Amino acid sequence: MKRDKTETSMIKVSVLAQQDYKSFEEYWTEFSPSDARTRLGKHWSKIGEKIYSDYISFGNLIASSPWELLNSLIDQNSGKVDFEFEVNVEEDLYSHIVSNPDKWLKLRCQRVLDSVDIELFRHDGKSAGSISDNNLSDGQRNTAVLALLLSQDGGPLVIDQPEDELDSNFVYKELIPLLRSMKHKRQLIIATHNANLPVNGDAEMIYAFDVEDGKGVMKACGGLDNPEVTKAILDIMEGTEEAFRRRREKYSF
């Protein structure tokens, strides 16, 4: 989705056919030898990792699934699997496959789940990272998923502390423009401790709460033009000085 018409997309979603490793691992484990003490059993997980890696690297171009890639490597003439591994398990793997035809047929009929990846871009078009490469912080991952949710049509959306695990600069330059661009398309109800979100996100209605005797007490409600609301934000919320400073710079007052 885009923050507005003039900016680049904030996220890029990629769907990779049959590349969800957890799904692959589950099916591969079900096909494992009954005796984990054998040479094949001891290396079963590593063999699976190698098959999955080969499929990701080039196998998906020549095979419809990881199982069909493995099937293409079976050499009946030599009685082994044409498979390079750090230990000699080619014959053991072949023997396991031909000795379990029903389980092998079942495995070949299983479809590994697709892998969905989301790449997050900053306002200047540079990539912040993607979920798959683990370069995003927890807060940035949440922002990427939030952008995906906001790209869909729908009713009111309740968001709990979207600023968590994000530095103030990212909140101001990336998160707030995202929320501000969407508020005219659907209702956003946000619980936050960060003053930047209601102040620079141009919130239409603000409810300021404090805690008294272990209970939430509403101190003020209304827009930013309400002095009681402004005072409550200054007294209660985090980062208020920075929030109002940036608002003054934005609107030149």
In a domain, residue 148? The reply is: no
pLDDT of residue 51: 95
Q: Is the pLDDT of residue 5 over 60?
A: no
Task: For the chain, report the end-to-end CA distance as a whole number of angstroms.
Answer: 32
In a domain, residue 235? The reply is: yes
Per the model's pLDDT, the better-predicted residue between 102 and 172 turns out to be 102
pLDDT of residue 6: 46
* The model's pTM: 0.67
**Are 160 and 247 within one domain?**
yes
In whole angstroms, what separates CA 227 from the centre of its chain?
A: 40
Q: Is the pLDDT of residue 49 over 70?
A: yes
In a domain, residue 172? The reply is: yes
pLDDT of residue 3: 54
In a domain, residue 32? The reply is: yes
| End residue of a domain, out of 50, 79, 108 | 108
DSSP 205: -
> Which CATH number does the domain housing residue 211 bear?
3.40.50.300
**Are 159 and 95 within one domain?**
no
- Would strands 11-16 and 74-75 be described as parallel, antiparallel, or unpaired? unpaired
Per-residue model confidence as pLDDT tens digits over 126-150: 999 998 888 899 999 999 999 988 8
In a domain, residue 113? The reply is: no
pLDDT of residue 92: 95
| End residue of a domain, out of 46, 81, 108 | 108
| Best CA proximity match to 103, nearest among 33, 21, 198, 51 | 33
**Are 243 and 161 within one domain?**
yes
**Are 171 and 237 within one domain?**
yes
In sequence order, which ranges of 84-137 are alpha helices (DSSP H)?
A: 90-99, 101-108
DSSP 10: S
Per-residue model confidence as pLDDT tens digits over 195-251: 999 999 999 999 999 888 988 899 999 998 999 998 988 888 888 888 888 888 877
Q: Are 169 and 124 in contact (CB under 8 A)?
A: no
**Are 157 and 244 within one domain?**
yes
Parent domain of 73: 18-108
Number of domains in the chain: 2
In a domain, residue 10? The reply is: no
Beta bridge partners of 75: 80
The mean predicted confidence, pLDDT, of the chain is 90
**Are 101 and 163 within one domain?**
no
In a domain, residue 120? The reply is: no
| End residue of a domain, out of 108, 124, 144 | 108
Q: Label residue 7 by pLDDT band (50, 70, 90).
A: low
pLDDT of residue 98: 96
Per the model's pLDDT, the better-predicted residue between 126 and 5 turns out to be 126
DSSP 122: -
Token representation of residue 204:
């239409």
Instruction: Provide the phi-psi class of 58: left if phi over 0, else alpha when psi is between -120 and 50, else beta.
Output: alpha
Backbone φ and ψ for 71, nearest 5 degrees, come out as: -60, -35
In a domain, residue 205? The reply is: yes
Q: How far apart are CA 44 and CA 93, in angstroms?
A: 9
Per-residue model confidence as pLDDT tens digits over 60-104: 778 899 999 999 999 999 899 988 888 889 999 999 999 999 999
Q: How far apart are CA 146 and CA 165, in angstroms?
A: 14
